[in-house]
Amino acid sequence: MPTAISMMDNKIDRSLTGGWQYLYNFNKVAGESMPGVAIGMATGGAGVIGEIAGVAGAAGIYGGSAYGNSKSYAIQNGYSNGEATDFATEVGFKEGCKTMIAYGILRGASGLSRAGYCSGTTAATTAGIGTFGLEFIDETYTTPKIYKDTLGQDIEVDYGEAARNSAIVATISGAATYVASRQRGTTVEQVEGEGIYEKAHALDGVEEIEESTLTGQGQYAQESIKNEGKRLLPGEGDIGTYNDLIKSGKRGDNLTPHHMPSAEYMSKKGVAKKDGLCMNMEMPVPGSGGRHRLTDTYGGNMTDAKKAFYYDLSPRDALAYDLKNLCIIYQNDGLYDKIRPQLLEYIKTSKSLYQDLFEK
């Protein structure tokens, strides 16, 4: 015997036609999917162990709710208490597992994006595909099998409706993942990233560096840290290709060419290390320290996550990132005003040599 709620649902569904019927179905599926999506996306920031524990508890509550609703449905439709319990147990377990899997898909995709391994759009697409498959399998195989095995009911599968419902869930999941991927990550991810996103995107491209960051009234001109003993070495700030600067240098000058963007980044754009544009920076050889060794792209200063993010930047954003990095280094040594003309020159030379990469 159908329940009052199911009778009302069927009556409403039959009374609607065309777009109104699709809108009603969209809202119904969206309402059913939102708890799982919310559980999957609202558990960040608790640390890995705490987060997993929170998701497991939330999935248990969600599965328990499904258990109670399913048991009531079976009893009201004339099934014995034992049959209703078996049916509700499988439905509750299925919903709890489904929530955990959805959490893994959404949380994993958004986490990879925040760590710099993929874009927010890629993360959203991945989450959408994953949750589409999860919902489609549930509606076309898992749920009909549970009805058949526990209640002996043969559920007629409407593959078209299952696809539409799965698309709704995928859309909601993809949107939630995209939003989450644009937010700051958990404490672990923040330490891993160390503000790399902000460093790269606080300025929108090369011209904005020229007009704001490198202006006399910009933040770096207000040097709060003064190191009177620091000075630019003779030849520091000279600009040229790597080969040209090496040839013009001499033993003991304590200078080395610094690629911006990095040599490895430019090699992916078809520019060999020897032909890459560089600026001379202080680096005692032999010895330690020096401003070149402080740059983010020097040696092993970047973690794998940082590298993945950096190499995914556009050429203009990568150049912006490296120039801002130098602004900070020279500001801390009280030398920003002295190096600023060379940074401006570096921008102009980069545009001249590689118009296809750095011009808008």
Burial class of residue 71 (count of CB atoms within 10 Å of its CB; 0-12, 13-18, 19+): buried
- Model confidence at 1, pLDDT cuts 50, 70, 90, reads very low
Tell me, what's the pLDDT at 340? 92
Residue with tokens 């200078």: 255
| pLDDT, mean of residues 296-311 | 88
| pLDDT, mean of residues 230-250 | 94
Cα separation, 157 vs 267, in Å, equals 54
Tell me, what's the pLDDT at 61? 53
Q: Would the pLDDT of 241 be above 80?
A: yes
- The predicted-structure confidence for 127-186, as pLDDT tens digits, reads as follows 999 999 999 999 999 999 998 999 888 988 999 999 998 999 899 888 888 887 765 433
Least confident of 101-110, 238-247, 302-311: 101-110
Closest by CA to 138, choosing from 106, 121, 163, is 163
Highest mean pLDDT among 1-15, 108-122, 187-201: 108-122
- pLDDT: is 83 or 208 the higher one? 83
Radius of gyration of the chain (CA): 29
Q: Would the pLDDT of 17 be above 80?
A: no
| pLDDT, mean of residues 262-276 | 94
- Model confidence at 228, pLDDT cuts 50, 70, 90, reads low
| pLDDT, mean of residues 8-17 | 43
Tell me, what's the pLDDT at 222? 44
Q: Would the pLDDT of 57 be above 80?
A: no
| pLDDT, mean of residues 93-99 | 81
Least confident of 107-121, 261-275, 311-325: 107-121
Tell me, what's the pLDDT at 272? 94
Tokens matching residue 37: 């999506």
How far CA 198 is from CA of 43, 190, 195, 239, in Å, comes to 24, 11, 5, 27
Cα separation, 18 vs 294, in Å, equals 64
- Model confidence at 79, pLDDT cuts 50, 70, 90, reads confident
- pLDDT: is 188 or 354 the higher one? 354
Q: Would the pLDDT of 60 be above 80?
A: no
Tell me, what's the pLDDT at 193? 37
| pLDDT, mean of residues 334-346 | 91
